[in-house]
Structure 1
Amino acid sequence: MNKKILAALIAASAALSMGGAAQAANLVVNGSFEDPGFALPMGSYCYLGGPYDCGSVNGWTGGFPLMLTNSGPWGNPNTPDGNVLIGIQGTSFIQQTLNLAPGTYKLSWMDAGRGNYGGPTETYQVVVGGNVMSVESVNYGAGWTTKSLTFSATGATILSFAGQTNYDATAFIDKVEVNAVPEPQTYAMLLGGLGLVGWVARRRARAAA
């Protein structure tokens, strides 16, 4: 095979591999809250800050969010990923600083509603880099729902989930992920490489005829 064609194919393959690996890597530390950094027995809960303070959660800081496990006293459904979840209650919040290279990213997470309290709907903001990217409302007893959005970053970026309801409503949050979105050049290189493969195959077929 022509050396230039081989080099193009190798470059395209490497770009696709790097793009896929970047997309697959979750850039959020402890996105499912399974590493609280302290003992949280099954069926228990505590708060990050304020009364009943249980300390800090690895990777996250917050103002009075609820930290609880499956089978807790809050009517929470089983978590979609592991045994621990966060509850955004009233005006509490939780946040993390992400170290991101310049580019485009996809944020995904899951939320659900508190099931043992028939009070108001909990509304919370998803804030990325100081910008409100989404305002979500979670009804009483709502099951787990996947949410997602895309955003651009140029460096260190603060991600936060911040409650907006001045009542004892709760939105459960779990499985928070941020993944890089491959740049269009990656796909362009792959398509170019595949085109070269097709061209070589056709040329060889004609020569053999």
Structure 2
Amino acid sequence: MADSFAFNESVIRTVHNVIKRSLVQCIHNCNAAAVPSKKALKSFLGYVDAAMDMLHHHHTNEDDVYFPVLRKSGLTTESLSAEHEQLHPLIADVTHVVQVYRRAQEFKTVSQDTFDFASLKSKLEEIQRILVPHLDKEEEEHTAQVLRDAGIKASDLNDVHNKISKAEQARDPTMALPFLYLHLTAEEKISFWKAVMPFFVRFILLPIVTFAHRDYWAFSYAKAPVA
């Protein structure tokens, strides 16, 4: 395994790639042509919900665990934290929309022909507009070398990843694990997935939990990648 600093940089870049790809998938498929039936609409809303859940937890982990370590060493996170605050209500808004229509009673009132795809797409595009440069800035400002030069210890980074791993284990594995795996490239499945996930997760748990929401993943990067 790479040293703690290179590993941290690689993990952040990979998770950011997953988030970026999922937003592209959400936006590209947010139309009646890509969602041709009521069953497909239900699956699409579930997929968008999973994407927002991933983004929400990523920011929570940074705010609660990662950024405090950076600040303790004198590195600035003010602008990144401010952008999180800007994004939080947008993410919550999309989450509210998709969760409302996923409820049985409300879902009866809508179809793929009447659902307001344009409004949802606009909300997703606004998130993307703010989020992509935010993720790029985070990678540029906090490289492995910057963290080394700031005097951060390898043990501090290891502690960050242990805490985040514990927090991730509290999430619904039927949503979190498949979502992450299905937005990795073939190279990332080797450099990241194989490196961080134990044998049991990769070969036993993942196939089981993927089945639970299998219809959601029809919209994922792995199943229908947007060029």
TM-score, normalisation: structure 2:
0.26
* Larger relative contact order, structure 1 or 2 (CA cutoff 8 Å, min sep 6): 2
- Higher percent of residues as helix: 2
- Higher percent of residues as strand: 1
Larger radius of gyration: 1
